[in-house]
Amino acid sequence: MLKKIACMILILMMVPLTGCWNNRDLTDLGIVAGIGIDKASDGNIEMTVQILSSSKSGGSQMSSGSAQSGGSTVELTAEGATDFDAARNLIPSLSQKAYFSQIQIMVIGQDAAKEGLDGFWDFFERDHEVNRLYRVLVVKNGTAKSVLEANADINQIGAVEVMDSVENTAFGKSVNLPAFKVTEMLSNPLTGLVTGVIDPNGATSLKDMKVQGGAVFKKAKLVGYFDNDQTRGYLFAKNQIQSTILTIKNPKENGRLVSLELIRSIGNLTASIEDGKPKLGIEIKAYGNIAEEQGGLDLTHEKDLKALESGANTLIASDIKDMLDKSQNEFDCDVLNFNELLDKYHYSDFEKIKSNWDELYKNAEVTINVKFLIKRPGLVTKPAYGE
């Protein structure tokens, strides 16, 4: 009898636990695929969201001046003193609560980026519904709103189209940075932050906007940009590059070129302190194939392969050096985070120079060692029209 009573009590205790007490129907939520942050003319935050449309015809025609239809998405804009304020101010136009768990990208207008991430980042870090895997990009010479309202030509959802461009590893000249990494880097004031870049260049279609280069932040504020080659140097040094094309001179024929396809790269940073000064280094070991040759001669002899490898070494080292020169002389910003290595492995010595790190980094000499090895020449030894 006691067992039966105990079982009944357990069953009764489990009843309140059944069901979804905080369940919300999808029709009550505006699922956000992309979010944009701009600085409004009055100093407020201007938030633009790209919301998946539930209209079967491919987009609801909303009459509000703050909303635009983009096929399978709807874009809305609202202002607020804070992010949370702006998000709630979307409700009158949306008639739903913006739901941030499916964000693919965050685009930040250049003016807002210069003002500083510290003015709006906390909401996206603190809110429990926001996922932390969306990619972060700065809109070079433009606004986030212009990107989210641009026509999506390849994918019906513009945010997904931009996300696909960011995640395409074959280019090797764009930064793929998830939101949780931004939060990690912002926690260290000595650490530089480099995000992705999208350049509208006045275009109204996403296919005419370029996702390339890197946006450099120092102490949460945008200080400038890396060009494509400098971004590639940054990715090599950070061990974040998976593939790219290196185009160098043909060692046998003047005026002709050879393209090498990078298939693997290992980047390693070293840092120590000697006589109160940092001693920094970058080591790259990379592998690739001959992808294309202009000319008609056989380049598979050992001497020629060595010449090609030497050309690749020079090109990679040049990209890294240009990136370092800009980070040291223009940005005064430790974008490779050498300070974290020193703090981890040489803590006591680093504590003595930590307060003067910006100046020490600016004047530090960085040794660059690159070793590129060609694994395969391709299916032919020389072009079909060769001698």
Tens digits of residue pLDDT in 346-371:
999 999 999 999 999 999 999 999 99
Within 8 A by CB and 6+ apart from 328, the residues are 361, 362, 363, 364
Predicted pLDDT of residue 191: 87
Cross-strand bridge partners of residue 223: none
Predicted pLDDT of residue 130: 87
Domain ranges of the chain: 28-226, 228-380
User: CA 383, CA 298: separation in Å to the nearest integer?
Assistant: 8
Q: Indicate the helix (H) or strand (E) that contains 186.
A: helix 179-186
User: CA 137, CA 113: separation in Å to the nearest integer?
Assistant: 10
Query: Other C-beta atoms within 10 Å of 189: how many?
Result: 10
Predicted pLDDT of residue 26: 53
- Give yes or no for a contact between 123 and 88, defined as CB atoms under 8 angstroms apart: no
User: CA 327, CA 225: separation in Å to the nearest integer?
Assistant: 10
What is the Cβ-side half-sphere exposure of residue 314, based on CA atoms within 13 angstroms? 9
Enter the DSSP assignment of 70.
Answer: -
Pull the structure tokens for residue 28: 């009550």
Within 8 A by CB and 6+ apart from 131, the residues are 100, 101, 102, 103, 179
Predicted pLDDT of residue 277: 94
Q: Which of 225, 195, 194, 199 is nearest to 211 (CA)?
A: 199
User: CA 184, CA 198: separation in Å to the nearest integer?
Assistant: 22
Cross-strand bridge partners of residue 293: 258
Place of tokens 């609202």: 78
Calculate ∠ Cα 133-138-143, nearest 5°: 120
85: phi then psi, degrees, rounded to nearest 5: -65, -45
SS3 assignment, position 25: coil
- Give yes or no for a contact between 273 and 349, defined as CB atoms under 8 angstroms apart: yes
User: CA 168, CA 196: separation in Å to the nearest integer?
Assistant: 13
Burial of 61 per CB tally in 10 Å (0-12, 13-18, 19+) = exposed
User: CA 192, CA 180: separation in Å to the nearest integer?
Assistant: 15
Predicted pLDDT of residue 152: 86
SS3 assignment, position 349: helix
* Local confidence pLDDT in tens for the 387 residues of the chain: 566 556 665 666 655 555 554 555 555 678 899 999 999 999 999 999 999 876 533 333 333 334 454 458 899 999 999 999 998 898 888 777 788 889 999 999 999 999 999 999 999 998 888 888 999 999 999 999 999 999 887 777 899 999 999 998 889 999 999 999 999 999 898 989 999 999 999 899 999 999 999 999 999 999 999 999 999 999 999 999 999 999 999 999 999 999 999 999 999 999 999 999 999 999 999 999 999 999 888 898 999 999 999 999 999 999 999 999 999 999 999 999 999 999 999 999 999 999 999 999 999 999 999 999 999 887 677 776 655
Which overall architecture, per CATH, does domain 228-380 show? 2-Layer Sandwich (3.30)
User: CA 129, CA 235: separation in Å to the nearest integer?
Assistant: 31
User: How is the chain split among helix, strand and coil, in percent rounded to 5?
Assistant: 35, 30, 35
Q: Which of 115, 95, 103, 106 is nearest to 40 (CA)?
A: 115
